[in-house]
Structure 1
Amino acid sequence: MKLVMLGYFGFGNAGDEAILAAELTALRTALGAETTFIAVSGDPAETRATHGIEAVSRTDFRALITTLRGADALIAGGGSLLQDVTSARPVAFYAGTMLIARTLGKPVFVYAQGLGPITRGLNRRLAGWALRSATYVSLRDESSIALATSLGARNATLVPDPVLGTTFATHPQDRLAIALRPWPGTWLPAVKAALTDLAKDTELVFVPFHGGQDVDLAHSLATPLGAEVVEPGDYGKTLEAVATSKATLGMRLHALITAAAATRPFVAIAYDPKVTAFAQLTAQPLAATLPEPPTPDTLITLTRKALEGPDQSYVETLETLKSATQTPTQAVASHLRQQA
């Protein structure tokens, strides 16, 4: 069995690398260790070294077609692949690859994706065609389900992000993880003020989740406070820094998901609907929804509460969600066994 893994892999984003690792683990368990994988990657050499699987460059169109032709199926996701907020190109690339796979007669499984926003008319049509042609569609929040339905996709399944099913055998250290990203607006002064207050009696560790975007911001905040910065490069160490902290204050979705996977509380600052959706799903607090900035007092109060530890309701919610992370894997395995 040979599966092609399509996602935002090979770009130094710890969250997306965690998605790939979680999917590989789940699919190997369901389909057998003899299953082989080929990832579509922005840096094939890095993907091979990090995950121990084959990889093909996303810019080598001929090699990508050859890879799809020789595969048994395409696994598309997770992550926010079909969206045109960052640029118009992601929908064309990801939806186009899904449609090419279907043209070649390969089943396409949409694996716990976050869908949208998709604002451009052509992109909406492309995304709709790709979703309707897929063998199976699973999405990670209600807003994605609603968008998929508006694009003509039917029977999409609501599932948690695969990283939520990751097991962290860790004991929390008495510290707060900070996982922020650059974003326009006036939110940063309030965060600085809150962190200055928190640093008086709390150890802070800054965890950049995207090596190409978050590092400078992390250092600019950490240096005046004498706090540690976990340098990017090893996604496992990035995740571990969050999982071993008592709580997380973050904007990066997969920092929050990693905290939840380790049953650690978090406080979210939402720059994107996907962050809002996950905070609501797990009943964890939103300190602010940008562009409306948070207040220092709100950040301080919510974060100190999170540092007290998880309540029983949160623990029970996470147990239910973690068990549901296997739903897409079971669907993939069932369909492929029927084809065999």
Structure 2
Amino acid sequence: MVKAVICGYYGKGNAGDEALLASLLQMLPQHVVPLVLSAEPVRTRRRYRVQTCDRMSAWLVWRALRQADALILGGGSLFQDATSWRSPLYYAGIVGLAQGMGLKTIAWGQGIGPLQRRFVRNLTRRAFSRCTAVSVRDVASAELLRQWQVNCTLAPDPVWALQEKPAKHLADLPAPRVAVTLRSHRALTPPRLDTIVKALIAFQKATDTCILLIPFQQSQDRAIAERIQPQLPDSSHIVDWEDPRELKGIYNGVEMVIGMRFHALLMASAAACRCFAISYDPKVTQFMQDFEVPGWELQALPEDAQEMTQAWLEHYANGEALTAAQIEAYRDRCLLHQEFLAEAFRENSY
């Protein structure tokens, strides 16, 4: 058996990162025993039935690494300084510690950047250049690594292959359903949010849909959902989630998604659901381009609520989702991340 410490943005209540962890555990070879660094180790242990420890306890992290054979840097945008420059410092420190101990270090399903500060860029380059193996989820990250002369495996985001679970109580909610996922952001100003709310009210009146407000991260999304719901004229629900696999299952019962969150758009696309994006981040913009998803940049939102409503109504009536063949193709390509792990953890490589 091989012991591997898994490091990522886990236990923070972010559905995208939890979905990445669930995908990683699903793809991990059977002979690899994981220990997950988490902000809420008890909850993570109960949810995934794995060993855990507190990600912010230097002693516990050091001890976990001392007892491990490998470190897996879990998927997502861990090395980026658009949100905070402190985050990449943490991950670079964990990677450097593991590499100093002689552990095999594997970066899996990564999306690198934005890297706006030179010292963060240098830290990131150093961390990846010393990894045993690297897989990434987008072309821009692969190109950056190529510039740094770091070999990598490129495949779609691992959550494409996440096995969903049936969503509890979804059938009890009126149909048709439209999901909305907004998050706090400095560019989502009160006037812009007011415009979105006015547009949603008009959209719901025109379509007679049940609006599902889905906070992907309670600390950033819940307050917005609670502000919107009382203003909606007809059926609406704030949908809380516990298991990201069940969250992915919700989109099987949704007609359209209006979303800012990258993984909300991905989960919806994987369920053959129509998507309309509001982009706050390059990864969302890239998703829009790759999958021909209509939408707006957050800073370029229409000021006229009627214009916004009309765009949503047009897409609701005539927009197209991915075909079954397209979805299957992305899931198959995504499994390159699983093959990557199998190769990285070949039993005779220890």
- Give the TM-score taking structure 1 as reference length: 0.90
Say whether 1:92 aligns with 2:89: yes
SS in 2 for 1:214: helix
Change (3 A) 1:175 1:312: closer
What letter matches 1:229 in structure 2? I
SS in 1 for 2:65: helix
1:207-230 alpha-carbon deviations (Å, 9 max, x no partner): 000011111100111111152111
- Distance in 2 (CA, whole Å) between partners of 1:314 and 1:57 is 42
SS in 1 for 2:9: strand
1:79-117 alpha-carbon deviations (Å, 9 max, x no partner): 110011121111111122112212222222211111111
Q: Contact conserved, 2:197 with 2:228, CA < 8 A, in 1?
A: yes
Say whether 1:209 aligns with 2:216: yes
- Distance in 2 (CA, whole Å) between partners of 1:243 and 1:313 is 13
SS in 1 for 2:89: helix
SS in 2 for 1:8: coil
Residue of 266, 273, 279 corresponding to 2:282: 273
SS in 1 for 2:300: coil
Aligned-residue offset at 1:206: 0.3
Aligned-residue offset at 1:323: 0.7
Say whether 1:42 aligns with 2:39: yes
Say whether 1:292 aligns with 2:294: no
Aligned-residue offset at 1:312: 7.3
Aligned-residue offset at 1:277: 1.4
1:178 corresponds to: 180
Q: Relative to structure 2, which stretch is displaced further, 289-298 or 97-106?
A: 289-298
Change (3 A) 1:265 1:54: same
Aligned pairs (5 A) from 1:18-37: 18-27=19-28, 31-32=29-30, 34-37=31-34
SS in 2 for 1:85: coil
Aligned-residue offset at 1:313: 5.6
1:251-301 alpha-carbon deviations (Å, 9 max, x no partner): 01111111122221211100000111122222222x211211135455434
Aligned pairs (5 A) from 1:299-318: 299-308=308-317, 311=320, 314-318=323-327
2:16 corresponds to: 15
CA RMSD, Structure 1 to Structure 2 (Å):
2.3
Q: Contact conserved, 2:273 with 2:322, CA < 8 A, in 1?
A: no
Q: Contact conserved, 1:283 with 1:314, CA < 8 A, in 2?
A: no
- Distance in 2 (CA, whole Å) between partners of 1:306 and 1:115 is 31
Percent of aligned pairs sharing the same letter = 33
Aligned-residue offset at 1:183: 1.6
What letter matches 1:273 in structure 2? P
Q: Contact conserved, 1:12 with 1:211, CA < 8 A, in 2?
A: yes
Change (3 A) 1:334 1:9: same
2:160 corresponds to: 164
- Distance in 1 (CA, whole Å) between partners of 2:321 and 2:216 is 28
Residue of 53, 56, 71 corresponding to 2:53: 56
SS in 2 for 1:209: coil
- Distance in 1 (CA, whole Å) between partners of 2:198 and 2:121 is 41
Say whether 1:242 aligns with 2:251: yes
Change (3 A) 1:237 1:218: farther
Change (3 A) 1:86 1:313: closer
Q: Contact conserved, 2:165 with 2:245, CA < 8 A, in 1?
A: no
- Distance in 1 (CA, whole Å) between partners of 2:140 and 2:121 is 15
Aligned-residue offset at 1:330: 0.9
- Give the TM-score taking structure 2 as reference length: 0.88
Aligned-residue offset at 1:121: 1.7
Change (3 A) 1:136 1:301: farther
What letter matches 1:326 in structure 2? L
What letter matches 2:288 in structure 1? A
Change (3 A) 1:20 1:305: farther
Aligned-residue offset at 1:48: 0.7
- Distance in 1 (CA, whole Å) between partners of 2:104 and 2:307 is 48
- Distance in 1 (CA, whole Å) between partners of 2:86 and 2:230 is 36
- Distance in 2 (CA, whole Å) between partners of 1:312 and 1:258 is 12
1:333 corresponds to: 342
Aligned-residue offset at 1:233: 4.5
- Distance in 2 (CA, whole Å) between partners of 1:323 and 1:234 is 23
SS in 2 for 1:130: helix
Change (3 A) 1:312 1:260: closer
Structure 2: segments with no counterpart, 5+ residues? none
- Distance in 2 (CA, whole Å) between partners of 1:318 and 1:298 is 31
Aligned-residue offset at 1:21: 0.7
Q: Relative to structure 2, which stretch is displaced further, 222-231 or 78-87?
A: 222-231
Q: Relative to structure 2, which stretch is displaced further, 249-258 or 288-297?
A: 288-297
- Distance in 2 (CA, whole Å) between partners of 1:308 and 1:244 is 17
Residue of 196, 205, 226 corresponding to 2:201: 196
